[in-house]
Amino acid sequence: MSGRLTGWLLVSLGVTVQFLLEVTLGRSSMAPAVLVPLLVYMSISRGDYWSVEGAFWSGFAMDLLLHHPPGISSLAMLLGIALSSWILEITTGAVRMTFIANAMIASILADLIFVFLASSPPGSGFSLETLLIVPRILLPLFLYLAVPLLFTGKIAETGYR
């Protein structure tokens, strides 16, 4: 299979898993965020195409499936991933840092931007429940580190090539 086809299959699987988590657990009640870390990982390992095209189309699909105004999830993911790379570049002097740091910052920013844009009027959706974003983001990243440790005795590789 070609690289793009494999990548789109992974993104489609990520959208499906994220959709099922959102529908069953709900966005505000700790449905783990798996789509943004997947896109960050794919942009690291397969190129920046996935942080733009993958975020745009997967966000558009999520908006249609979850009945959000089209483009909100896309914009939130695009801005979250771009701002994460920018923040890591200006603070550490490196464009790319570890996967965990990049995915965590991108996920937090994407969720905060989504809450800002999806609420009516914009920004009115922030409350104490917004703090549930933190466990929603940290759970998949913790599993990324813990699962290989359980099976191989080694922590997953978290750096860039």
Can you give the pTM of this predicted structure? 0.81
Tens-place pLDDT, residues 70-94: 889 999 999 999 998 888 877 765 5
Tens-place pLDDT, residues 89-108: 777 655 555 778 888 889 88
In order, the DSSP letters of 32-85 are ---HHHHHHHHHHHH-THIIIIIHHHHHHHHHHHHTPPTTHHHHHHHHHHHHHH
Separation between Cα atoms, residue 132 and residue 145, nearest integer Å: 21
Tokens 């996935």 sit on residue: 50
CB contact at 8 A, 100 and 158: yes
Q: What is the pLDDT of residue 117?
A: 86
Average pLDDT value for the chain: 80
* Cβ-Cβ contacts under 8 Å for 97 (sequence gap 6 or more): 88, 160
